[in-house]
Structure 1
Amino acid sequence: MCVVLLSLPLNAQNKGTKLNLNIRNATLESFVKQMENSTGFSFIYGEEVKLTRRITLEAKQQTVSEILQRAFQNEPIRFEISGKHILLYKRPMPQKPVSRKFTISGYVTDGTSSETLIGANIIESRRSTGTATNPFGFYTLTLPEGEVNLGFSYLGYEKFHTHFELDKDTILNIHLTANNQLAEVVILSDKRDAGIKSTAMGTNEIPMSQIQHTPTILGEADLLKTIQLMPGVQAGMEGFSGMYVRGGSSDQNLVMLDGIPVYNADHLLGVFSIFTPEAVKNVTLFKSSFPARYGGRLSSIVDVRTNDGDMKQYHGSFSIGALTDKAHIEGPIVKGKTSFSFSARAMPTAFFKNLIVSKDDVSPNIHYTEKYNYYFYDVNAKLNHKFNDRSRLFLGFYRGKDHFHYDSHEDYLGTGSSGRISYYDSKNHLNWGNTVAYARWNYVFNNRLFSNSTFSYNSYRMTLTGNMNDVKYNNDQTQNYNRYSSNFHSGIRDWSVRTDFDYTPIPEHHIKFGGEFIHHVFSPGVSTSKMQEVEGNVALTDTLYHTSTSRDMNGLEFSLYAEDNFTVSNNLSLNAGLRVSLFHTQEKSYLSAQPRLSARYEFGDGFSAKASYTCMSQYVHLLSSTPLSMPTDLWVPITRNIRPMYANQYSLGGYYTGFPGWEISVEGYYKQMKHILEYQDGVSFFGTSTNWEEKVETGQGRSFGLEVLVQKNLGRTTGWLSYTLSKTEHRFPDGSISQGNWFPYKYDRRHNISLCLNHKFSERIDAGVSWIFNTGGCITVPERATVIIRPDGSTEPGSHISQRNNYRLPANHRLNVGINFHKKTKHGMRTWNISLYNAYNAMNPNIVYSKWQMERNMNDYYDHNYNGKPGEAPTPKEEGKTIIKKLTILPCIPSVTYTYKF
């Protein structure tokens, strides 16, 4: 043992002398020096003598022995005073008695309506540990026996604190009070309060208050439009609600309504989503570090949760806008036990038989009329029954539908008194929509184990019908007519059962596990037709054709998952999970194991870093030939020949929250995709999926990017600025597309900037502004003219294309502005919203197409002395040119909306 002897002149060597000392944050060495200078004693100790924490104490008229006892209390050090020396020895720490642990659990709800609050924070301040409520407002926290000091907080609510002596398992249900002064607060990241070590990356929780204040087209609040303003997310076509996340296609996004997949989330060809804001409670976007409980898509998860219904009082709202009218009401059926929530939205045109009627008298003897109408509607209903603190039942229903019809009629009139000679009728109807119904049961087995079981049905169906009558009259007014009717429908329907468990054995571990079974039935395209021919009131033919362009296909999908979010140390937390899924179709099964891992490290002073790896698989495809979300797009499953798509994504990010009310994040990612589909040039899936496997190619993709998000979430002015730098490429090694080389994805946009600001001028006036800028996507255009020589020697014009998506479109930018005027009334609040979509009328291309223009006719354009082989191209005498055509259908659009809440 190395012994250090320190000797100083004696000042107070008598150990009974009373001293006054003030020691702050002292190491053992500095404490010894201060004691030696003040007492005259010298200290003797070895290298093995160490403190576990620094010494802070204030002594008034205390002896040397009393000061040393205080300094080394709960330290592995004992002392001995011998003459003018103080000897320090290492000693074993006394074993503390094993403390019992107990669990606190319960629900966090709105104090006025008893609506459960998702993601509310629960912090135990004495131990700097905590948790958050799950999607059903339930929490559980296990702590050592003794005094606890709990804090509960949630966006827009006053914080609630309680302290008590924990000596048994405790059920603690908390009702938070809304705080109007915090109504402007916006939280968009996965940040949690201190003590909750979230490892989630690329996760955004978007409050409904933000969605309702983000200006969009025609003043219609839309959650998918707001999600498009997040980094890494972009719209496919300017002004429409399609989502393309981190280089993925639109069918690689799983959109869920209360945990149930929705296959078509668009109205009006993608101008709006199907979600009525008044019915929605919470929206969460996942685009990396996917928890193991989610699967089935490669690019993103959008989890939409609806209101449960007010348990205490009735309230609601109605709204009249430029495009839609809406109504919402909720309240108790049995106070404190059973509640309901009901929302409906529709276009006013639903109440009119014909929206547009045009008439054209081609000649005095011909009258021609056309009739149009389009409308959509949504209905959301939910029933919530609380049996007791352990058991709750939810029944939910959604129905949405779009309807378009076009009728035309021609009358051919005779001269004089001969009357009508003939007429022609054509009626065409296109309908599409979703239906979702479910029953959900929450049960708390004990204060550490929570379960959620769901049985559901969901379907998407599209129907196209046509009826044509061609009628002619004989002189005796008997009829000769041909009648033709057709019906085409496609869709998908699912029956599913799912069970999820939340288990928290100790505060350091939060375990989720469960399983799901889905029975898919795909109807890619089924058509029927009937033809009837009558002459002189005698039927000549009456034939029914039933042509199934594609048989119904069944798919059975099984999945099991488990994940553990656990704390390794005060600085490091991990989430490790595994999802195993099996998909069976056409007598073939595909098994997939998908590991997930994410980590978070706290550096302190507001700095943290995260990293994640996820593996995802996808068993369904959407066949589409247009950039718009069309109802005629067809859902098909994988087959014995088409394998599932897979994606591996690696992410790394840094985060800073040191400035009060501000958050800054930088995330980088790299994503690999396998077995992705690209459609062959010139193919179309409009209304048919016949032989679709022969019209696609499978290949691979890669996407990498950097995302920056700066947001202010406190104060009168809130909002965020996001920037995305990204690149996405596809390749088909067999050379079927672009000679096997990498080529840019059609929605590969290098730069994307979104700015969203909200300002509250007063209790009566607030405003919102959003501005976006993104570089253009890619399209395929001909590069030069060719001629195709058939085997018989004839020719036809053609074009040469070196690779797909070889032309980059110009940049897009747009400014949206909205302002709200509120006024309290005797029974509620009325609001006028005035909005400008595309405020400075930027002429962005909503639809883009290319046209190959030849400067001369074919005889003059090509050299006919060319002696090449069939299929090869001669050298043109002059260069032709490709003309890019653009169509802007969304210029500056003003709107006014009136809303009354009661």
Structure 2
Amino acid sequence: MKSSICSPRTIRKLFLMGAVLLSTCTLQSTLVFATCVLQANPSQTRFSIKLQNATLEEFVKQMEQKTGYSFIYGEEVCLNSRITLAVRDLTINEILRKAFEMQPIGFEISGKHILLHKRPMPQKTVSRRFTISGYVTDGASSETLIGANVLDSRQRVGTATNPFGFYTLTLPEGDAELSFSYLGYETRHSSFPLNKDTVLNIRLNTNNELAEVIILSDKKEAGIQATAMGAHEIPMAQIQHTPAVLGEADILKTIQLMPGVQAGTEGFSGLYVRGGGPDQNLILLDGIPVYNADHLLGVFSIFTPEAVKKVTLFKSSFPARYGGRLSSIVDVRTNDGDMKRYHGALSIGTLTDKIHLEGPIIKDRTSFSLSGRTTHTAFMGKAFSSDGDEFNYYFYDLNAKVNHKFNDRSRLFLSFYHGKDHYHYNFKESYGTSDCYESKNGLNWGNTIVAGRWNYVFTNKLFSNTTVAFNSYRMILKGRAKEENIYSSSQSYFYQYDSEYRSGIRDWSFRTDFDYTPIPSHHIKFGVEYLYHTFRPETNTSKMKEEENGVTEQDTLYNSISNSYLHGHEASVYAEDNFDIGSRTSLNAGVHISLFNTQGKNYFSIQPRLSVHYRFDHGFSVKASFSQMAQYVHQLSSTPLAMPTDLWVPITKNIRPMRANQYSLGGYYTGIRGWEFSIEGYYKQMRNVLEYQNGVSFFGSSTNWEEKVEMGKGRSMGIEFMAQKTIGKTTGWLAYTLAKADRQFKDGSINDGERFPYKYDRRHSISLCLNHKFSERIDIGASWIYNSGGTVTLPEQQTVILKPDGSIEQTDYISKRNNYRLPASHRLNIGVNFNKKTKHGMRTWNISLYNAYNSMNPTLVYGKRRDYDYLAYKDEHGKYTGGYNTSKLFIKKITLLPIIPSVTYTYKF
């Protein structure tokens, strides 16, 4: 008999040694022995092995060295052919099953021994394949779970649910052993004989044990997630535990803490991703573009966290299904509504009040989700009045969705969003009893989105989603000035001037997407989209009325309309395939083809996308990607803040689409449980980017805007590092970005044709975010942000000439574009939650400090002269002829967001 335990004598010696050991060991050694046995359990321990044309003896020797198991077999046990095997992270059972799959060898595991025996040679048969498909949902609410992992442990293949919670997996006939997992939920296993196509809908229950700690990430990758690069799936728990201004958890503020992303202006929510501008980010709400995602000039975003289910950020490796922007995609998905029970949340904060309700309309068939948010000042208009002045500002958001399930194949979603900012200022002054002057000014802006979405499962391998939507963004600025004078019963004067300024963009869109999974190693997506844009850059209307002594002197309506309506037709088609090459390599290859028609001219673009992921042993992997993007719309702005007067305009006959090529390479390590490390480098080339010409700017008027800008090229490059602790009572991440971005314009039109730094070119960015859960009742979150200074264009020297006639002529000297580097900014935000369970829910008090140590970071800067003295000149007769003053300027900064405390009360029921 061939054996590593080779004879009866040896067996007897081992038996006697074991008896002596058991009679003399201490309690401690017994526990250690039991622990080792537990760890060696084949259902828990996983190994990796690689063999090429190995004999049975070679296979046994390597297995004994790696696993500590002993093999016992007789001379009749032999191979039909040599073993070639390369597997990793498999149990003993799985390794043996693969090694002996087509061999006349069976096995049995007994303790630390593996017994091999002869069996009849398996017959090679053409195995039939069947498809398992269905939805993965929350066990309590039936809310679909996006990106849940589905894995077959026998075949070691898997997939992930799509943005609508649907999955499909095709396996050979036989026993299926599936596991379903999702962040913060208990893993569910399902075993059954697979002999026909099967619909399997799975409900996962929340893991109460995991709920006691904050979990930021799940390192498991399956299906389309395997090749994603420069992508961050941001759990809502992470957003809700990140402290922000006035205690308002904010999606865009949390995204700013990711490597490669920064805020344009300190403390505000604009996104500048990898050297791109704010209009180069495609922000989607359930797949519908949002053109203005800011409240309060960018202090907050329009997304109410209670209404949101999942947020995904793409900075590179853009999947082919996305198009229309150069720098990033922010994909926000909202709650579908609980189909089982009613629940909600009520929140009262320093600035806003929020309410969220959801529940079944028809249990297990139809549900609703409703969220609202507004500021306290919405009902306090008179509270800000004094001495003839009255002003007020407020904003609100309303999200609503209805979800109806016809059957397992067909679902319908109706969604609605409306949000608005409102500001008004009224002034009234009286002179005596008969004369008065009155001024009223108002500014309103907001978004409205209405969408219908239909999911349909054509076959267990083909899933479709069709969306029809209407999207509108508009801004209205109104003003009235009125003066009335009554001199006597027969003498009076009346004057009134009304003005109105409107701007906006409106879209009608149709989109249909298909998910097709013929086999587990291929996940194909394809679809088409059409958008009909109506741009209304601006419309000016004014009316003047004047009366004297009751007689109308003037009553005129003026219409000054520039670019009243501009239309654009945007059509696109895409296809992408996420597929595996062997057990280590995954690729995502796709193409996005688009056509934009405006002013009778067509622009056509073919945009290839490719990303590859290679997995090494021990948790190491590398990814590389190439993406080409095109953009057909621009946002005109002259201020660093997100102003509602910024205007969206389409490309024209003379202004070509912006284009970008981005190359990325990254390394990743997840070999330490609960930790994730990544380093990514990128290089991005941009063409046809816009910049204002020297000496011109845009102030709320798009008239002749094409003549005010130049098209040039840009580039950005950088290295991003991120270390993240994902599980435990203490979680968080450290992100560091080293980056450079610049622009260049030909013909010397800007900066003499030389390269100059982009205005938000910041060399270093650091963000540190930590969360700690002391107990069920108390947890704390803190974030520290450091950014080296951006750039600004300011006069280096200013000459003021005082002419003899008393007029002043000013000349500014500027050596180059963006010639000043601003000082670095940094701040610390802290938030503490005090939780208490009640009979019907949970109540939480949040106390936060924004900018805790009151760092006076610059929000706005300007140049200021040091003196105003003039050098006077006189002629030979002593007569004054004028004067001048030349002086250098120094930078003056304005800080809008110093230390800000806040208190928020939330009750969940």
TM normalised by structure 1 equals 0.87
Q: Which shifted more, 775-784 or 211-220?
A: 775-784
Q: Partner of 1:727: helix, strand, or coil?
A: strand
> 1:370 corresponds to which residue?
389
Q: What secondary structure is seen at the aligned counterpart in 2 of 1:798?
A: strand
1:734 counterpart SS class: helix
Q: Per-residue CA shift, 1:380-434, capped at 9, x if unaligned?
A: 0000000000000000000000000000111010xxxxxx131111101100000
Alignment pair present for 1:269 and 2:288: no
In structure 1, how many angstroms separate the alpha carbons of the residues matched to 2:525 and 2:152?
Answer: 22
The letter of the residue matching 1:113 is S
Q: State the shift of 1:144 in Å.
A: 0.8
Within the alignment, does 1:132 sit opposite 2:160 as a pair?
A: yes
Q: Are 2:324 and 1:313 aligned?
A: no
Q: Which amino acid aligns with 1:65?
A: E
Looking at structure 2, the residues matched to 506 and 626 of structure 1 have their Cα atoms a distance apart, in angstroms, of 52
CA distance in 2: counterparts of 1:732 and 1:780, whole angstroms: 16
Instruction: Call closer, same or farther: CA 1:276–1:20 in 2, change over 3 Å.
Output: same
The one-letter code sitting in structure 2 at the alignment partner of 1:230 is M
Q: Give the Cα–Cα distance (whole angstroms) in 2 for the partners of residues 708 and 410 of structure 1.
A: 59
| Distance in 2 (alpha carbons) for counterparts of 1:526 and 1:195 | 49
Looking at structure 1, the residues matched to 249 and 679 of structure 2 have their Cα atoms a distance apart, in angstroms, of 28
Cα distance in structure 2, aligned partners of 1:157 and 1:20 = 50
Alignment of 1:72-91 (within 5 A): none
Is contact 1:782–1:852 with CA below 8 Å preserved after alignment?
no
**Superposition pairs of residues 635-674 of structure 1, within 5 angstroms:** 635-674=648-687
Q: Which moved more, 1:674-683 or 1:432-441?
A: 674-683
Q: Letter of the aligned partner of 1:838 in structure 2?
A: N
Structure 1 residue 441, shift from structure 2 partner = 0.2
Aligned to 1:510: 523
Partner of 1:331: 359
Report 1:84-123 matches (<5 A): 96-123=124-151
Query: d(CA) in 1 for partners of 2:497 and 2:136?
Result: 61
Distance 1:370 1:96, change over 3 A: same
Change (3 A) 1:410 1:138: same
CA distances 1:465-493 after superposition (whole Å, capped 9, x unpaired): 11111101131176420111111100000
Cα deviation per residue 1:108-145 (whole Å; 9 max; x = unaligned)?
00000000011111111122211111110011111111
Choose from 604, 613, 618 the match for 2:631.
Answer: 618
Q: What is the match of residue 90 of structure 1?
A: none
Aligned AA (2:572) = S
* Structure 2 equivalent of residue 411 of structure 1: 430
Q: Measure the CA separation in 2 of the matches of 1:262 and 1:25.
A: 51
* Residues 682, 28 of structure 1: alpha-carbon distance in 2 compared, 3 angstrom cutoff: closer
Q: Is the 8 A contact 1:758 1:767 kept in 2?
A: yes
Change (3 A) 1:330 1:55: closer
* Matching of residue 446 in structure 1 with residue 465 in structure 2: no
2:253 pairs with one of 219, 222, 225: 225
Match of 2:90 in 1: none
Distance in 1 separating the partners of 2:509 and 2:453: 12
Taking the aligned partners of 1:103 and 1:827, their CA distance within structure 2 comes to: 43
Q: 1:566 to 1:188 in 2, by over 3 A?
A: farther
Distance in 2 of aligned mates of 1:271 and 1:334? 39
Distance 1:785 1:403, change over 3 A: closer
- State how far apart, in whole Å, the 1-side matches of 2:397 and 2:190 are: 43
Deviation at 1:858, TM superposition (A): 5.2
Residue 56 of structure 1, CA deviation: 11
Q: 1:899 is matched by which residue type in structure 2? A: T
Residue 161 of structure 1 aligns to a residue whose secondary structure is strand
Seen in structure 2, the aligned counterparts of structure 1 residues 553 and 571 have a Cα distance that, compared at 3 Å, is same
Asked whether the 8 Å contact 2:835–2:845 carries over to 1, the reply is yes
2-structure distance, mates of 1:860, 1:184: 80
**How far off is 1:536 after superposition?**
2.0
Structure 1 residue 551: Cα displacement = 2.0
**Equivalent residue in structure 2 for 1:285, among 305, 310, 313:** 313
**Structure 2 residue 740 is matched with structure 1 residue 733:** no
Shift, 1:540, TM fit: 2.1
CA contact (8 A) 1:853 1:883 kept: yes
Q: Tell me the SS of whatever aligns to 1:843.
A: coil
C-alpha separation in 2, matches of 1:606 and 1:689: 53
Q: 5 Å matches for 1:651-800?
A: 651-785=664-798, 796-800=809-813
Say what the alpha-carbon RMSD is for the aligned residues.
3.1
**Structure 2 CA distance for aligned equivalents of residues 290 and 97 of structure 1:** 42
Q: Which among 202, 213, 225 is matched to residue 241 of structure 2?
A: 213
User: Secondary structure of 1:724's match?
Assistant: strand
Amino acid at match of 2:906: T
Mapped partners of 2:59, 2:684: distance in 1: 60
**Residues 477 and 641 of structure 1: CA distance in aligned 2, closer, same or farther (over 3 Å):** same
Aligned AA (1:64): E
3-state SS, counterpart of residue 115 of structure 1: coil
- Measure, in 2, the Cα distance between the counterparts of 1:619 and 1:701: 17
Aligned equivalents of 1:797, 1:149: Cα separation in 2:
80
> Which residue matches 1:569?
582
Letter aligned with residue 400 of structure 2 = A
Structure-2-length-normalised TM-score? 0.87
Q: What residue in structure 2 maps to residue 183 of structure 1?
A: 211
Paired amino acid for 1:133: T
1:197/1:567 contact within 8 Å kept: no
Cα displacement string for residues 687-727 of structure 1 (whole angstroms, at most 9, x for unaligned residues)? 21100001111100000000001001111111110000000
State the SS of the aligned residue for 2:656.
Answer: coil
Question: Does 1:204 pair with 2:215?
Answer: no
User: Structure 1 537/845 Cα, relative in aligned 2: closer, same or farther at 3 Å?
Assistant: same
Structure 2: runs of 5+ lacking an equivalent = 15-48, 84-98, 106-120, 875-882
The answer for the alignment partner of 1:895 in structure 2 is: 902
Q: Secondary structure at the match of 1:684?
A: coil
Q: Residues 56 and 82 of structure 2 are in contact (CA less than 8 Å); yes or no, is this contact kept in structure 1?
A: no
Counterpart AA for 2:290: V
**Which of 534, 537, 541 is 2:547 aligned to?**
534
Corresponding residue of 2:891: 884
Q: Secondary structure at the match of 1:65?
A: coil
User: Is the contact between residue 25 and residue 54 of structure 1 (CA under 8 Å) also seen in structure 2?
Assistant: no
Tell me how far apart the structure 2 counterparts of residues 139 and 860 of structure 1 sit (CA, whole Å): 85
Deviation per residue, 1:341-376 (Å, 9 max, x gap): 0000001111133341121xxxxxxxxx11101000
Residues 1:68 and 1:737: Cα distance change in structure 2 (over 3 Å): closer
Counterpart of 2:25 in structure 1 is: none
Q: What secondary structure does 1:204 align onto?
A: strand
Q: Equivalent residue for 1:65?
A: 76
Letter of the 2:238 partner, please give it.
Answer: Q
Contact 1:462-1:489 at 8 Å conserved across structures: yes
Q: Do residues 388 (structure 1) and 415 (structure 2) align?
A: no
- Alpha-carbon distance, 1:859 to partner: 4.2
SS across alignment from 1:354: helix
* Percentage of matched positions with identical amino acids: 64
Of residues 282, 300, 307, the one that matches 1:254 is 282
Q: Which protein has the bigger helix share? A: 2
Q: Provide the secondary structure at the position in 1 that maps to 2:569.
A: strand
Q: Please say if residues 132 and 198 of structure 2, whose CA atoms lie closer than 8 Å, have aligned partners that are also in contact.
A: yes
Please tell me the residue identity of whatever aligns with 1:321. Answer: G
Alpha carbons of 1:707 and 1:472: their partners in 2 closer, same or farther (altered >3 Å)? same
Aligned with 2:238: secondary structure? helix
**AA aligned opposite 1:552:** Y
Superposed CA deviations along residues 835-882 of structure 1, whole A, max 9, x for unmatched, are: 000011111111111234457425479xxxxxxxxxxxxxx9997322
The superposition leaves residues 278-312 of structure 1 with CA deviations (integer Å, 9 ceiling, x where unpaired) of 00000000000000000100000000000000001
Which segment is superposed worse, 183-192 or 753-762? 183-192
1:437 corresponding residue in structure 2: 450
Match of 2:113 in 1: none
580 and 333 in structure 1: CA distance in 2 versus 1, 3 angstrom threshold: same
Q: 1:30 to 1:150 in 2, by over 3 A?
A: closer
